[in-house]
Structure 1
Amino acid sequence: MDFTEIYKQTGQLATFSPGAHFLLTAIQDRLVVRRADSFQITRSWQLEPSPSATALAASRKPLTRPQAVSDSGSSVDRDGWISHAGWSCDSEYILAACARKGFVDVFKMRDEEWRARIEAGAEGLVKAEWAPDGRNIICWSEWGLRVTVWNLVTGSATYIQYPAHAERGYAFRSDGHYLVLAERHKSKDSIGVYDATSAYRMVRHFPLPTGLFSALSLSPTGSHVAVWEGPLEHKIHVLSLAGEHLGTFAPEKDPGFGVRAVAWHPAGLFLAVLGWDDKVHVLENLTWGPITTFELQSRIPVGTTIWREPPDWLEATAGRGFLSYERLQAPHTLCLTVRDRTKPPPELPAASKTTCSEHLAWNVDGTTLMVRYGGAPDAIWLYAFPSFARPAEEKSVPAPHRTLKPKLRSVLLHAAAVTSVWWNPVRKGSLACATGGGAVYLWSDEWESEGEGGQTDGEAEEVAECVGVPARKFAAHGLRWAPDGRGLVLLDRETFCCAFEVEEDVPVRQ
């Protein structure tokens, strides 16, 4: 891989444009857009820090706030920093939100002088993001009062009252036609379905069977929505978008502390549910009952490919180049983290702010399931699913005769706890992770071995590599793939760099 220089960023706000031609970053109160091929700056905007008079008058925050001190000794007003930034779907517009001061600025790539502002007003602002159509901006107010949808074309606003959760309580259907929003009216949970193509007109509204709503997840087909209870009960419900209750799953013995993560199969065939008891229940889409269960165990069985990060390899290579993982022979025994079941998980507050995809996720074609168990934070577990899980093959298999026999395929062991892990959005057999150190870790099963005469034998094999970041002071705590799957953004606390695949010309044998 080839790495770029180290650049500044704040708020972990560094993201590729949908076409992967540009890279957007936020540096305090400034937006910077770079070209993805040369990393030259093409656009830069400074936010106007002054909030509206309404926001000032309604602010409930103290008049004086402790200010951070920069390296030069001067004070820094973090209230004016960008808290949210993002691209529209066509890369034409960019939004930058300052939640503490209650406004959203919108900029246009083709016209550097053009800008628009959305002022939240008395209800405050906690989050802002683009709708799938790229012409509506969705803003969440403080205290769950309402969601406001602002249209850039007409300048009009649509208000939806009492959303349940700004992070885990909504989803758009894959075609962007409907918004599914969890709401809480008069201490009761409900779901509203809104038509995004008709000014967010309500088309469905039905109650939820939850006692205390925690989160929802919409199936890739857009026909089912899974909702689960709060941290005190391990229970998940599946409903149709018409409000029909299709099924409920709860373990025979409630392990406590509820559901940790949920992941839909890309074709909507299965629903994987990870609990705080380090068990994964895979539900099928007919009866919504479990067809298999995975559990964290200290002994890795025979038949599993085990990869281990070499000890002290970063010091030996001075953080440059790459090195293959060590291959261990199965069976192998791990030292697991012992958790006191009488106390809540220490990672529960932090996990509520992270995405489910970094704990439990399918690859792009649904043949492999990635799991991160809480009892083994330094390991990544990969489970292989049968090939008939593809939609075209699934239709040819009668439902009563379907046999699902997934197995543990590979385990990746690291010297430190994994802080971020993502599947490649395009390639089915490519995974990247970070552990908060000076390296990025890659796993792939798409390499073809060479046989006699330099010809490939057509059989793919697994490859796991440790790739050092060529920088003295850089710790990769987070990472994100480019939309085309050819590059990565590696994020430190206040800096970032990018890594790209190096395309080599293979000589042709005469």
Structure 2
Amino acid sequence: MEFTDVLGQSLAQWSPNAKYVAAADKNRVLVREPDSLKLVQAYICIDKVERIEWSPDSQFLLTQVARQGLLQIWSLRDSEWTCRIYEGLAGIAHARWGPAADLVLVAVDFQLYLSIWPLQEGASAVQIRFPKFSRRGFAFSRDRCWLAVLRRKDCKDRLGIYNSQESFSRLTDAALAGDASDLAWAPDDNTILVWERPASTPWCRMYSLAGECLAQVGDALPRSVAPSPSTQLLASLGLDGQLQLVSAVSRHILTSLAHNLAEATVQCEDGEVFLWEEYVELTDGVPVGKHRYKKIQDPGSFLEEKPVPEALDAEGIPRQGITVAAWSPDERFLATKHESFPSCRKWQALAVLMCQVWCGFGILGGWCYIPC
């Protein structure tokens, strides 16, 4: 393998078209070509850059300067073009691009409002009051005609739907039962999927554009829900270690999967479940050489489920069951992490994440271990 020179930069991010890579160095943002690391553009911000994000078309770069409470947007084509977004005393909690490079969504501190800034000369921002979350809880439909937002007003959750083609005029403001966690658009762009935080009520509901509850989907008690890239499938991550795959089109449960290594080894044939152990060569107790991996011959007897200490995450939900899920872009694989498997051996100081890969509709593809 060949390596380039080390560059003292951070927050590196690839452009969506993979032609550029941007990284921050204090108050500078440098854009380079990935093959030769040739410098393409250099932008000077007014203070230290805390976050960067490419526009969907890879032509603009959003930089968040947290200390000053403002955003600076730069153009890759025109180095003289600049844009600044300042929310005043409200501050900026999080900023992100819209579905295209002509919109920037800014959530201010304490979820007071969500600003939608068109990047057009003379255009003014539109404010949506009381969004429930600053980093999630709002999504555009695939045709970009509608914006759905979870709102929290008078200690109650509400679903707001706005017409993006008419200056984000409000179409629907419907009350929601329960404590909503996030939302996603169904493939037809006429239905919104809203799921709750762990509660005793059904975990997912489907709403029409008019705010009418069409159906309740699933029967599990999930920790969270992970929609597939096309939103045709929903993965329910259970507190009990069960994973349900639900069709958002037919509104039926397709299969229920158990995150259990012993069951996986029984269900699969020899050679279909793999377990790798990481080790480092030691000399006089000092690590030397690179990390290496060896295959465990009997994975079923190697790992035992260990209860984790009672702990809560940032949202106050117990750290138990399946906490993380990630879909592959083609929706053929689903990787999950179980909190009851914190490491491989008690004496290991290095925590190991357990990743179970599901293939297709419930066919187990394999097991792997990824070091933190």
Letter in 1 for 2:7: Y
Asked if residue 371 in structure 1 is aligned to residue 340 in structure 2, the reply is: no
TM value normalised by structure 1: 0.61
Q: CA deviation at 1:317?
A: 8.7
Aligned-residue CA RMSD in angstroms? Answer: 3.0
CA distance change for structure 1 residues 286 and 219 in 2, over 3 Å: closer, same or farther?
closer
- Equivalences for residues 34-433 of structure 1 within 5 A: 34-49=32-47, 81-154=48-121, 155-210=123-178, 212-231=179-198, 233=200, 235-242=202-209, 243-249=211-217, 251=219, 259-285=222-248, 288-299=251-262, 300-302=264-266, 303=268, 305-312=272-279, 318-319=289-290, 326=295, 328=297, 331-339=300-308, 343=310, 345-346=311-312, 348-349=313-314, 359-377=324-342, 378-386=353-361, 406-413=362-369, 418=370
Residues of 2 paired with 1:88 and 1:96: CA distance? 11
Letter in 2 for 1:408: L
The alignment partner of 1:183 has SS state of strand
Match of 1:421 in 2: none
CA distance change for structure 1 residues 325 and 240 in 2, over 3 Å: closer, same or farther?
farther
Residues of 1 paired with 2:17 and 2:294: CA distance? 33
Q: CA deviation at 1:104?
A: 0.8
Tell me the matched-pair count.
348
The alignment partner of 1:122 has SS state of helix
CA contact (8 A) 2:237 2:243 kept: yes
CA contact (8 A) 1:34 1:41 kept: yes
CA distance change for structure 1 residues 120 and 267 in 2, over 3 Å: closer, same or farther?
closer
5+ residue gaps, structure 1: 50-80, 387-405, 419-434, 437-510
CA distance change for structure 1 residues 240 and 317 in 2, over 3 Å: closer, same or farther?
farther
Larger RCO (CA under 8 A, 6+ residues apart):
1
Runs of 4+ in structure 1 displaced over 6 angstroms?
Answer: 314-317
Q: CA deviation at 1:214?
A: 2.3
Residues of 1 paired with 2:46 and 2:228: CA distance? 44
TM value normalised by structure 2: 0.82
Seq. identity, %: 23
CA distance change for structure 1 residues 199 and 231 in 2, over 3 Å: closer, same or farther?
same
CA distance change for structure 1 residues 310 and 298 in 2, over 3 Å: closer, same or farther?
closer
CA distance change for structure 1 residues 358 and 277 in 2, over 3 Å: closer, same or farther?
closer
Residues of 1 paired with 2:2 and 2:165: CA distance? 43
The alignment partner of 1:359 has SS state of strand
5+ residue gaps, structure 2: 343-352
The alignment partner of 2:81 has SS state of strand
CA distance change for structure 1 residues 286 and 310 in 2, over 3 Å: closer, same or farther?
closer
